[in-house]
Amino acid sequence: MKVTVKKIDDANVVVSGTLDAKAMEENIDKLAVQAGKELKVDGFRQGKVPPHVVKKMHGEKLEQDAEGEAVRELIDEGLKKAKIKPEDMLGQPAFKKYEKTDKGIDVEVEISTRPEIDLEGYMDVVPKYTKPKATKKDLDAKMKEFAEQQAPFTKIARKRAVKDGDTTMIDFEGFIDGVAFEGGAAEKFILKVGSASFIPGFEEQIIGMQYEEEKEVVVTFPKDYGSEDLAGKEATFKVKLHEIQEQKAGEIDDTFAKKILNDEKATVKMLEEKLESQITSETLSKLYNEDLKPKLIEGLVKKFDFALPNNIVDQEVDAKVNAKAQAMDEKELETYKTDIKKLDELRDSVRDEARDSVKATFIVDALAKKEKIEVDDQEVMSALYYQAMMSGQDAQELVKYYQENNLMPAAKMGLMEDKLFGKMLGFDK
């Protein structure tokens, strides 16, 4: 089998050759003989099934196996000619041609490899910034926020109608078609208007209610509501407003500090130091995510120019197209299914973004190796548990979602990226 190799660029080559029909037929015969020694067929002794019987029974499978073996031999020979180590090959080879003729099968496959990147001068793109520091105004506001959060709810001094943002105490009972449903009632329930914690439309109808007023609130449960018995159905709630409440900050003293820090030796000064560190960390995190990180990625992508593995870029294009498809309605989605030209235009529209994303991934990976940045599985798990805690999600369910959707590698890459950029920006100093 004659194999030729054509280099596209430093990360991609095309391997071409013809899978000889006669050689593949001989290969099929060999496979048939081998299979005949293992098959059990009525009328024949174990291991004595003739090749022609095996071919008649499993001809299509034997042909596929023979072709697959011939393709692997072609790729192996192509890798040797291109001086590419098998472990440097990225993803699966992409078939550009697979045409059957009388002489055999003409094959062209594109093979992508990990790019080599010259990282010289990578620190040149690090943006300059001033490390944030908590001001007294920030600290006072945070202390007041903590004090208000710890304060009990109390009835407001003056009776008035409910306004958006008020915290109310209400009774409610829900009915569907005049029948009360399970879990749809509560007494002296604390509800903050505008919190979006209730069914859409419920909280808005509380606005304007007076003390001890009773009112019927009509809403429709979302179609994707967790309970199938309620999803998409209209419900009427009988609501009674008892009072509007507020939280007034108590005195900020050492007793308050002991409660917040859960430490009998705590003082207001110790609490201020803790909060100052927290505010600085939060401010720095916001600066990093909204400004420094995007600038770093943009700077690295612009600074380094190297060939990208085409199959990885195509995978990223597919991912971005699929993400856009998720936001399309059925009618729009159907137009892309029936119009190949329109689909190609969509793919072309995201290709530059996909290339930049792939490029950034390879740069970060190379820099992480250079800087000896590592992230283990336990760090990924800890990050996911923290994310769940901060967002009020079930940590085990979040981890399960990441595992089932193959998102763990992306989470690990994200942590590695943040570790790397943090070191480049001097966060560890």
What six digits make up the tokens of 47?
């291991």
pLDDT class of 103 with cuts at 50, 70, 90: confident
Chain-centroid distance, C-alpha 44? 56
Summary mean pLDDT of the chain:
90
| CA–CA gap between residue 168 and residue 126 (Å, rounded) | 50
What pLDDT, in 10s, does the model give residues 120-141? 999 999 999 998 988 889 888 8
What pLDDT, in 10s, does the model give residues 326-345? 888 888 989 988 999 999 99
How many CA atoms lie within 13 Å of 210's alpha carbon, on the beta-carbon side?
Answer: 1
pLDDT for 392 beyond 80 = no
Q: Which has more pLDDT, 139 or 306? A: 306
Non-local (6+) Cβ contacts of 278 within 8 A are: 142
| CA–CA gap between residue 250 and residue 252 (Å, rounded) | 6
What six digits make up the tokens of 176?
């569907």
pLDDT for 119 beyond 90 = yes
Degrees to nearest 5, angle at CA 136 with 130 and 139:
95
Q: Which has more pLDDT, 262 or 313? A: 313
Q: Which has more pLDDT, 318 or 261? A: 318
What residue has token string 């449903």? 181
pLDDT for 217 beyond 90 = yes
Average pLDDT for 342-354: 95
For position 24, what pLDDT does the model report? 84
| CA–CA gap between residue 110 and residue 87 (Å, rounded) | 16
Average pLDDT for 31-60: 83
For position 429, what pLDDT does the model report? 76
Length of the chain equals: 429
Q: Which long-range contacts (CB under 8 A, 24 or more apart) does 255-259 make?
A: 256/147, 256/150, 259/150
Range from 3-7, 147-151, 165-169, 271-275 carrying the lowest mean pLDDT: 147-151
Average pLDDT for 205-234: 92
Question: Helix, strand, coil shares of the chain as percentages rounded to 5?
Answer: 50, 20, 30
| CA–CA gap between residue 214 and residue 230 (Å, rounded) | 24
Average pLDDT for 75-81: 93
For position 363, what pLDDT does the model report? 96
Q: Which residues of 398-425 are buried (b: 16+ CB within 10 A; e: fewer)?
A: bbeebeeeeebeebbbebbbbbbbbbbb
pLDDT for 95 beyond 80 = yes
Average pLDDT for 277-288: 91
For position 191, what pLDDT does the model report? 94
For position 261, what pLDDT does the model report? 81
Supply the DSSP string of 222-268, one letter for each residue.
Answer: -TT-S-TTTTT-EEEEEEEEEEEEEE-----SHHHHHHHHT-TT--H
Alpha helices by DSSP H, 327-428: 330-338, 340-370, 377-391, 395-404, 408-425
pLDDT class of 235 with cuts at 50, 70, 90: very high
